[in-house]
Amino acid sequence: MRQLTWTEFERWRAEGRNFQLIDVREPEEHGSFNIGGELIPMSGLMRALDRLDSTRPIVVYCKRGIRSQLAIQRWQARLPQAEFYNLVGGIYHLYHA
């Protein structure tokens, strides 16, 4: 698992880099605010393996970066070839940077 800073994330977006963005928060959290990407809540991580595209980088985020790290650890065990990135600080960082 690699760590992706917000600066790097914004650069990837500006450059149009092809990556998959996953939010592992709960539906109500995602509904109140998100930065895009697909919602795969922690409760459904392993059922969603087939929705992960291991041919491109996968950026995972949550509120503070803790759940996203746990999700990546679980997914990496099943998809060791995938390139996972944890968005450092989660979306909390947007408000408190």
Domains for the chain: give ranges and CATH numbers: 2-96 (3.40.250.10)
Q: What pLDDT, in 10s, does the model give residues 51-92?
A: 999 999 999 999 999 999 999 999 999 999 999 999 999 999
Higher per-residue confidence, 96 vs 32: 32
- 16: phi then psi, degrees, rounded to nearest 5: 75, 25
CB 72 within 8 A of CB 65: no
CA trace torsion 55, 56, 62, 67 (10° rounding): 40
Average pLDDT over residues 12-22: 98
Q: What pLDDT, in 10s, does the model give residues 21-54?
A: 999 999 999 999 999 999 999 999 999 999 999 9
- Token pair recorded at residue 17: 């880099």
Q: What global pTM score does this model have?
A: 0.95
